[in-house]
């Protein structure tokens, strides 16, 4: 009887733990989707404070240009004139994948976006701070169909050579 109680308790504990984990996972996924969707809406609505408040204090934004690696303050300085003139960007999520570190306090994602540049990919990392998800890193990339990559390489060749020279002389 004692063995049966121990086994039954163990099975019950595993089921409760799994259910709790699954509920936390779903809740975190919903919160992250809400955070990212609202972040994209905030920029489209030129809501400067709301947009940047969703980013952690030590966040990094990496844009499509090789020189666009900004900490939060640098990105704010870059973006402020666009927000002030209400000439911000509008990125509409088309799909998104979210993944979690085992502790459920760190997540990473990738998303496809409809933008003025065509389809782009966003990816990044979110961290849970004071029970809220904050964007710690965001990377925006222009997608290039495999059939067009040779044309893009040719177009980028001159600028890439300038950037390579600068980087190699550092």
pLDDT at 170: 79
Calpha distance 155→10 (Å, rounded): 62
For residue 167, the model assigns a pLDDT of 87
Closest Cα partner for 140 from 93, 77, 84? 93
The stretches in the chain having pLDDT less than 50 are: 15-18, 20
What pLDDT, on a 0 to 100 scale, did the predictor assign at position 15? 47
Q: In the chain, where are the structural domains located?
A: 2-168
pLDDT of residue 77: 98
> What is the CATH code of the structural domain delimited by 2-168?
3.10.450.50
* Sheet containing 92-100, strands listed edge to edge, beginning at the edge strand earlier in sequence: 69-71, 55-62, 132-142, 118-129, 106-115, 92-100
Measured in whole angstroms, how far is the alpha carbon of residue 20 from the centre of its chain?
A: 26
- Predicted confidence at residue 10, as pLDDT, reads 58
Question: What is the model's pLDDT at position 102?
Answer: 84
Global confidence as pTM: 0.83
């Amino acid at each position: 009887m004692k063995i049966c109680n121990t086994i039954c308790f163990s099975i019950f504990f595993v089921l409760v733990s799994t259910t709790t984990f699954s509920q936390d996972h779903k809740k975190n996924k919903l919160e992250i989707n809400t955070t990212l969707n609202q972040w994209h809406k905030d920029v489209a609505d030129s809501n400067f404070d709301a947009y940047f408040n969703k980013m952690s204090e030590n966040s990094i934004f990496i844009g499509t240009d090789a020189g666009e690696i900004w900490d939060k303050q640098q990105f704010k300085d870059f973006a402020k004139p666009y927000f002030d003139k209400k000439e911000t960007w509008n990125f509409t999520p088309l799909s998104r994948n979210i993944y979690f570190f085992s502790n459920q306090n760190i997540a990473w994602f990738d998303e496809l976006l409809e933008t003025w540049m065509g389809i782009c990919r966003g990816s990044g990392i979110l961290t849970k701070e004071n029970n809220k998800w904050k964007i710690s890193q965001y990377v925006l990339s222009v997608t290039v169909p495999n059939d067009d990559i040779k044309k893009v390489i040719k177009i980028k060749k001159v600028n890439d050579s300038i950037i390579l020279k600068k980087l190699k002389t550092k």
